[in-house]
Structure 1
């Protein structure tokens, strides 16, 4: 019979993280005494072929079963090594406490102990393995087991024998074939955990970018090409020529397929052949030209830095564009947004380079129909809501290939600089910095490269 009574000797601190806050804010947790139910704990062997059913809420629960059940992690898919199968509970705890063996050998011992009633915090007190580390060990061991089942060579697996849980944890969301390719690539390039996270995001994000400029030139089956495409896309969204060149050179150094290398070299030389001067989804990127980006689902939630901008309607004939606050910033410990005047509508966007580069005077104009932009109507175009980010500090019509917000026939539109010059207009409401399209799951029928007028 084994039972524990645990008294917390000090209050714990949890933190809310926000991109608007300069530092985490502690929430005080009151002291309490945690008493576990007294019940026998015994070592058991868990078969992965016969998992226990999950606890699901039901309107008619079985007699004696509560509607609420505490969280329990799923049973481990990694088999328990033979040397640990017949150990009792105390012996298994001793293995974890003293790290007896390789990490992926003792990691499968954690889920059975939690299923037997050990809370992760109690396991942390006993073994010294933090709750987050417990999760990394269990998930990393499952990822490694999938690599074994995929036939990954022993030399690659050996690379992850020491402290490999963090690396393998980062590729957990990839498919089995993607994991195998990513694991080999990380070994070849001696990746760290941060690099692994970036690689996994690049691979996962690649299919969502279908229709983006140059997408078809990169090989989705090659992790290096996925990473190169991410760097290439970041280059297109950068308005600073020097930084854009650095990002393109980085993409070229990573790319593997000949087609991807050729495409990036053309971009570096300023001669793309098919769509000179145009950016992703048909946006233009050279000089002061405009990138067009589609917001990804959950992109704002994942962003570490965001921009908060005032929003104007497209149907007020430009009145709100002139009246919107010019200066606004986050102040204080809570990052409270303060503006020079009151404003009713604001939007949060990721802190893309073209956005954060403008220090003052940005405003967002919300169009309910993308036809406000100069798409070519003799081809298929997308009728959807868009956000146009405008720099009101740059009103003079200077660049022929730039785009400007203007009031035309009592409605707001976006016009190319050359068209405005032909009409004799020398001033606009502001120059367009970036165009944002709404997030979508389906990316078929995207704008082609030549859909701009």
Structure 2
């Protein structure tokens, strides 16, 4: 809580009705109102809404003047001049509220700049942001000092360097000249102005780096599966297939010969498979496996079976690849018996359904 005491401080002995009347009639300065709000909020435990209903001071205004009074108090302790304290003691709570993000020393310097230039709360907001960002720089830019005017000038100077639009660069340089304080910073801005002048007169233009979008991959990357041929497939060809080994954070795979690959989404069943491969099959075979009738419009659709070659132990709830006279077939059985297993079928993948291929080529039609 602020320790600042205005001329007529609100004390905890004062009745809440007296303080509410003071706020309702707006008696005294805004610092007196702030002290009254603090007392009602912190000592009398009133809510901002109750104070608003009794006085007309909106909660957002209550917060503004209370925070502003704390900034004012901090500036007084940090050695602000009598002129600054006298000016902001009469008005400017909205301006001091914008300075809350700064250190006490920076608040004093920025308040002096605002007073000298007769700036408003919007200007204070921009200056405070510039000063805060400037203070976080690891190294002070060449030629720029520690005055808040140089902080604003640096931000504008940097903006002018990073834009290729001539009007925007000109406006940024004008803002830099408006606030610059030190001679070294002024020289840096004058050099940049010379570059802009040369560009506008047809001279050699300064190179502006293009923007580059940077994205971070999510954890669930698509998985790249080798396509090992279509059924019927010989058992010997199946056994000769090499297991791919993804490398690094991007799951790079070095292709062997004329190997065909297919990328499938990061479904959990695929991500948990140890050695998944894809096998194209006819849709009628899928219907036979599931004992289902395939709709005529889907009869010609290609289907991919995803098989985990690492699973060769029989499980009654799964389909498996088995060897039949040197050729692989998909089968479900209640027990493994004496057959050799060459992988469990994890899923069947159908192609995406496109209702109208012509319309799909014109995204704007779909948007409508």
User: Scaled by the length of structure 2, what TM-score is found?
Assistant: 0.52
Structure 1 position 237, deviation (Å) = 1.7
**Cross-structure match for 1:122:** 50
Which SS does the other structure have where 2:101 is aligned? coil
Range moving further from structure 2, 235-244 or 168-177: 235-244
Deviations 1:43-87 (A, max 9, x none): xxxxxxxxxxxxxxxxxxxxxxxxxxxxxxxx3443365453342
Deviation at 1:164, TM superposition (A): 1.0
Distance 1:138 1:312, change over 3 A: closer
| 1:261 aligns to 2:163 (yes or no) | no
Residue 215 of structure 1 aligns to a residue whose secondary structure is coil
For the 8 Å contact 1:136–1:165, the answer to whether it is kept is: yes
Cα separation, 1, equivalents of 2:211 and 2:3: 43
Q: Give CA deviations for 1:87-106 in whole Å, capped at 9, x if unaligned.
A: 22211111111111000122
1:206 to 134, 157, 170: 134
Moved over 2 A (4+): 75-87, 207-211, 285-289, 309-313
Aligned length: 211
Check whether the contact 1:123–1:129 (CA below 8 A) recurs between aligned residues.
Answer: yes
Map 1:24-35 to 2 at 5 A.
none
Among 128, 141, 152, the residue aligned to 1:215? 141
2:101 maps to 173
1:250 is aligned to 175
Note the C-alpha offset of 1:230.
0.9
Structure 1: runs of 5+ lacking an equivalent: 1-74, 272-276, 278-284, 294-308, 314-367, 370-453
User: In structure 1, what is the equivalent of residue 20 of structure 2?
Assistant: 93
- SS across alignment from 1:84: coil
Contact 1:181 1:222 in 2 (8 A): yes
Q: Deviations over 1:134-164 (max 9, x none)?
A: 0010010111111222222222222223431
Return the offset for 1:233: 1.2
Structure 2 spans left out of the alignment, 5+ residues: 218-248, 251-368
Distance 1:158 1:120, change over 3 A: same
- Distance in 2 separating the partners of 1:204 and 1:312: 29
Cα gap change, 1:286/1:210 in structure 2, threshold over 3 Å: closer, same or farther?
A: farther
> For the residues of structure 1 that align with 2:9 and 2:137, how far apart are their CA atoms?
47
Contact 2:10 2:39 in 1 (8 A): no
Contact 1:236 1:291 in 2 (8 A): no
8 Å Cα contact 2:2/2:73 also seen in 1: no
Deviation at 1:205, TM superposition (A): 0.4
Do the aligned partners of residues 110 and 286 (structure 1) sit closer, same or farther apart at CA in structure 2, a change above 3 Å counting? Answer: farther
2:162 and 2:208 in contact (8 A); partners too: no
CA change 1:83–1:132 in 2 (3 A) is closer
CA 1:151–1:96: 2 relative to 1, 3 Å: same
The alpha carbon displacement at 1:287 in A equals 4.8
Q: 1:79 to 1:292 in 2, by over 3 A?
A: farther
Q: Larger relative contact order (C-alpha < 8 A, sep ≥ 6)?
A: 1
Alignment partners' CA distance in 2, 1:257 and 1:239:
26
Matched, 1:231 2:159: no
Aligned partner of 1:193 in structure 2 is 121
| Correspondence for 1:289 among 201, 208, 229 | 208
2:259 aligns with none
CA offset at residue 268 of structure 1? 1.2
Q: Please state whether the residue corresponding to 1:239 is helix, strand or coil.
A: coil
Give, in whole Å, the separation in 1 of the partners of 2:183 and 2:102.
25
Residue 104 of structure 1 aligns with which residue? 31
